Structure 1
């Protein structure tokens, strides 16, 4: 526990740096918030009045101090594009991004880990070559291109997938919010029609992220399994007459999971970033599309809130990885 607290304390300088950098960037990037919201026909007096109301006419140090004071009280500011507090918007949209990211990660794991194990056990086989091809394709193809390709094939050509218009069909109503995850909320009340509709909308964007996540997971699984299978204790266990199934699943896989778990945490953080592009392709109402829309409108508060949220999630994710590593490796509990 002490080690985790030290890691948490060590993350605070990085969080402070994120706050400073995002604040400065939203002030120096091209575009004037006051001019954008005043409209193209607004007079200079109107623009100056809006700038004064937003506090943009004050010196940067004074603006930053006001921003930090608001953060201490849990206030991320107001979104000028939605007219809502940024914290309210993020809390409303975060479940959509989390549901998409988790489903994409689960799809990637379900394919990549077995594929990496088979490729390591059967070197030079068809599965090994397939693993290398998939890894190369996953690294090479941009995630937005994969999404557009899937939409073109499964929606436009084959008609198997619904229109990429968000989390539900335009004529469907979302389930009562409990967790914010439509699949879970619909299952809790037994609304299976809504569940099927949400699942149908989720498949293509989740597969897009899953293909993006598949490459690094399969690669590290294969490399980790190869390293463990060449270890001395594996040769001893094989000489003792253990079956291949027991040897691979009980001895090799457990020891190979440590770098895989660390990679899963990194991939999850990468998927949160890739969400920005996937959400725009599939009109997914997550925090990624929210940040892009705010950036186009030169609305700084939502962009700052988005980056800060991602930084906090990344810190919490690293702590979770440490906990899992300690559970898998008893030696880590004494560090």
Structure 2
């Protein structure tokens, strides 16, 4: 009996080894040969078998069902919905770690901080997406944390791609557009500390002080110019029309800390001047009113007496203006 058990045991071991070495990997490969995408992603599939090439096999559209992609194929998933890239001084909201502001000089040499958001969509045309994967899906990009990622490695990989490829284009466009405006044309309070460099047409004709101007129109011009130039520049830089529906929203233009401090001091000084001017105006108005009142009394002495009687405190019954001890006699 023991002799019969030995062959059975060895046979079981052999079958287990075959299952572990052959059957299970085959089943795993077969099950792993299916892929699907969610509603917010689109996938590029590349061949990856032992005896296969690495060319693109197919593209899976967003929200697909289970799709056969072949054994050991590589699936690169990219965002299919609108994406955005934020540049802001708020460390919790920017796409780069820490304070992230584009600093560019105005035409009169003031470094200005630009904050805004770029909205765009990855081109979902299959041919364009294949070209994009050939150019950028086969490379890795360094992120702010020092690690390298492929563009399809989730949000970190996509952000690393934007930081290294798209961000320089945004910076260059902002620099080109902002450099055509003076500081006061984009930040009206900048005029308060630029008396020496402001042109005559920006000055008050009577006082010579710089008059702050509305900058909403100029900010809109910068924003529109960036929207026009970004599309062409991104297509040229990326080597194809890989992003569509491009829109840049310029959120805020800030001044350097020292310049802003000077503006704050100037505004405080103007507030004090305005307060003093208001007091002077009030005093002049009161003096004019008193003079007019006195002129009326001079023309009508009776009216003056009537006003004096109206001003008497309650409870007074006798009015003796000639009394040297007092003009008022209280009731007894």
* TM-score normalised by length of structure 2: 0.29
Between Structure 1 and Structure 2, the one with more strand by share is: 2
Between Structure 1 and Structure 2, the one with more helix by share is: 1
